[in-house]
Amino acid sequence: MKKYKYVEVSETQLEDLIRQGADLIEEGLIYVDHQRMTDRGPLDVLLVDSGGALIVAELKVSEDDAMLMQALDYYDWVVRHVEAFSRLYKKHKINATDAPRLFLIAPSFSISLLNRCKWIDVPLSLFTFQCIQLEGEKDIIPVFSEQEIPSAPETAETYTLEDRLNWITDKEVRARAKKVLDEIRSWEPKKINLDALKYDVSCKISGLVFAYFCPRRKYFMFYTNDCDDKWTGFRIDSDEDLPPVMDLIRTNVEGIGNITILDNITGSNKDK
């Protein structure tokens, strides 16, 4: 057995080693690009996995807790442009319908970073690495090992409208929000549903979303289509902010209702 020694590398060297042997990290990985410019600076490495999912890889050659936030900035940019990447790198057959993955690659990770990672709701993997050099050889060989991310405590995935309203700490704002939601539901009591989600409330008519109610501590937001049919957020701080927003929401409710009626009529005619 040949003797070997551990060697340190620069980030540029590590990028080059990954370019030459991406599948040493995970079987089937293919190198795509590196130092691709984003609105937050150049991301380290882009890879694609055996299923066609794009991978954003953030590299460090020393332990660095800041790499998580940096990587998330790059990940956000890539997610927003994944279809463009699939066109730009056609030969890699990137599947734009799959959520991109995020890799952090470093010699080690602190307990703080590991604990933060368990709350990140993206396809995230951590890999530690060491580089070795065989006696009498010039080539450097990276050895990667996947690091387990601690599991977040399990919570019951059941949410109520009351839970979302109680997130609002200002009693006056909470009362205003409840009154508004009650009014919206009164428009079509048998067709409109207000479904509590983890953070927001989905407002639906006949199963189709027409708005989202988003509680905050001292105010609340509504997201709905504006006059130009663009999905827009509206902040509600007082009763004076409500009339134009409620008019928009009602218009969107009526628009969905008309589409549903038309679909029903069309379906009936087809049956005949």
Structure tokens at 263: 């679909």
Flag whether 262 is in a domain: yes
Residues 141 and 37 grouped into a single domain = yes
Residues 135 and 168 grouped into a single domain = no
pLDDT of 152: 81
pLDDT of 155: 64
> Which residues span the domain enclosing 196?
161-271
Residues 76 and 130 grouped into a single domain = yes
pLDDT tens sequence across 206-259? 889 999 999 999 999 999 999 999 999 999 999 999 999 999 999 999 988 664
Domain containing residue 179: CATH number? 3.90.1150
Structure tokens at 79: 């997610």
Flag whether 155 is in a domain: no
pLDDT tens sequence across 66-124? 999 999 999 999 999 999 989 999 899 898 888 899 999 999 999 999 999 999 989 99
Flag whether 154 is in a domain: no
Element (H, E) at 261: helix 242-271
Residues 22 and 101 grouped into a single domain = yes
Hey, is 34 helix, strand or coil? strand
* The model's pTM: 0.66
Residues 175 and 98 grouped into a single domain = no
Query: Considering only CA atoms, which of 44, 52, 175 is closest in space to residue 105?
Result: 44
CA 165 from chain centre, in angstroms, equals 25
Residue scoring higher pLDDT (214 or 264): 214
Residues 69 and 175 grouped into a single domain = no
Domain containing residue 67: CATH number? 3.40.1350.10
**pLDDT surpassing 70 at residue 264:** no
Task: Name the one residue in this structure whose structure tokens are 């979303």.
Answer: 209
